[in-house]
Chains A and B, each alone.
Chain A
């Protein structure tokens, strides 16, 4: 049986949260009126996202991506490309990259988990190279226009742990010898599902839980 390393992209590999990406898309919509409307939506969603993010990240992500409703797929792809090249490339955390390389050298299967949209995550994964597999959020498009809904499974909530277990079964992986690195409260179950959990740059909820469970904590955010 093999082993895997599950890494939550936001917080472990990237400084930026998905909120920044959504705001970038909103600020570059078609025409100034549309930009203002979408940014307004993001401004309203941001505090809710912050609050829900500690508990129900699935709902938080659903709400966040509603702001991209009726945006053309062409524009989203172009903006994703811009966002990746202008912002994301610079936002990669050195500590995260080292961690990835180290685990890769040890021969583990590397699996990335991201709240971000596929359009943004895929170029990142192509750059990182060491990645075997990934899961991220996918927007639903109808006739080339975003509906604002996310396709199942929605990544980010407690369901991620179930997904990781299913993934391990499908690929004949031993979770008890596998690793997981995550940052946010809702990743608690993911960390609990593996034998070697580690909280990286954890938020308040996860830090407290990690201390209680005596999981190692890594801080390299800044």
Chain B
């Protein structure tokens, strides 16, 4: 294939870019990279939803002033950062899911005249969310943005999807846009599926008034009263009302999640996330004929390689939960050693986004790009597991809190086993439940004596259930999967500037995993699993976009902390 070099800086010079999802993990890193490396860029329009108490602009300022992603910019520009950002960024108050993106008509008109490129990295990244949320965040937003861009004079559309829209398709996955994106079956009509999914979720919503659900609710209430007869002694009717409301909300949530899973599995996708992304792609390819667009499919986005600094991470749903689990006494991971584990650092994806964005504006783009590593520098699950163990070992040997952690837990390596292993989480949980039931059958005297044991067993069962749920979510990716994502299209436009080169070959997995990724997870993600607060950055020169000038440090810091605390709550 003919490869012509593209100057990324020149391609973006004076161009106006719309960024959706600028407050997410990927969007933030791209924004910081663009502000630092694409100084000649025209205007970056960042769409931010207003918070309950904060305007979009305040939310954006908080982000710039507290997120470690922007620390590097603060260090480089110091007090000039407000001006630097004001000259390049315009925060738009709106909502991607609304018609015209929730923008005022004037703003929309202005954007439609000016925009050169729109990057959509917004979306729901939970694997199995409520189907309504998944469709709203991943499908509706994409379609609203597409409709908006279709009214623009010259805007191109870069849509960020995921490699895993390939679903359960196995083997080498090419960079092609299928008119029928369905992983395993034929006869898929995305519009019909979307309508059916919506109808199904409506049906579930309406079912809460049905006799069957009300019966279940009554049974739950009876059980509760039997277990805790003193509950609601003060105002019984109020207690029942509030409990019923919570029960129904939880019931709806569970049913909506199950509906998403059911529909996804039926068509051959692993989960609701890939299903909704698949539908969005299919709709996009069917309806975006009159607009220049491309689809970028990153694989599992993980800690940064070197930008903004090695190890930056914010992703909860990628490898973090599994990595965390392997640092505990959990020992048997149902996974296969040779399964490709396609992980790509977030800054590599951002480099690729810049290159593809430039190619798109120059009309030299491919229809689809895979941004992954399995094709060019393969990493396997067995190796990921080994390196995760070694990463924990290195940390616990030095910084373990107790002798037990330093001596034993640091050497407690995980073992990859089949899903139906004798000591699998499912079997262990079953054993715990059996034991609890057995205690229930004991004579009363013994049962009284074993209250503590029952309590412990219940706790263990709860933990095992959480682990089992987690492993079930990951199973399609770590056990039943052999996918290699072909990643060659991006090579047809090598960037002139080396800082934008997408080069997964540069990753030395051992160094990256043990020295960059694991410490990154430990610093930025694990604290949230443990209920500890996230580490924030506090700049000496807080950015204010109101007038392009900084606030005084004391006032600014205090203000931003208060606002951030509010936003967090």
Give chain A's interface residues, CB within 8 Å of chain B: 28, 30-31, 72, 74-75, 77-78, 82, 144
Contacts and interface: CB of A to CB of B under 8 A. Distances in A.
Interface residues of B, number: 13
Contacts of A78: 390, 393-394, 514
Given A30-B386, A72-B386, A144-B383, A77 B510 contact: yes
A30 B413 contact: yes
A84 to B, nearest CB: 14
A74 B386 CA distance: 8
Nearest to B338: A143
Interface string B453-483: 0000000000000000000000000000000
Given A31-B413, A74-B510, 15 more contacts: A28-B411, A30-B386, A30-B389, A30-B413, A31-B415, A72-B383, A72-B386, A74-B386, A74-B387, A74-B390, A75-B390, A77-B510, A78-B394, A82-B397, A144-B383
Contacts of A77: 510
A77 B383 CA distance: 13
Nearest to A144: B383
A28 B408 CA distance: 11
Contacts of A28: 411
A78 B383 CA distance: 13
Contacts of B390: 74-75, 78
22 contacts: A28-B411, A30-B386, A30-B389, A30-B413, A31-B413, A31-B415, A72-B383, A72-B386, A74-B383, A74-B386, A74-B387, A74-B390, A74-B510, A75-B386, A75-B390, A77-B510, A78-B390, A78-B393, A78-B394, A78-B514, A82-B397, A144-B383
Which 6 residue pairs of A and B lie closest in terms of their CB atoms, listed nearest first?
Answer: A78-B390, A74-B510, A30-B413, A31-B413, A72-B386, A74-B386
A72 B413 CA distance: 13
A74 B415 CA distance: 16
A72 B393 CA distance: 15
Contacts of A144: 383
A71 to B, nearest CB: 10
B385 to A, nearest CB: 10
A86 to B, nearest CB: 9
A164 to B, nearest CB: 34
Nearest to B513: A74
A110 to B, nearest CB: 29
Nearest to B331: A31
Interface in B378-423: 383, 386-387, 389-390, 393-394, 397, 411, 413, 415
B391 to A, nearest CB: 9
A75 B411 CA distance: 12
A30 B415 CA distance: 8
B330 to A, nearest CB: 14
Contacts of A75: 386, 390
Contacts of B415: 31
Contacts of B393: 78
A201 B260 CA distance: 74
Nearest to A33: B415
Nearest to A74: B510
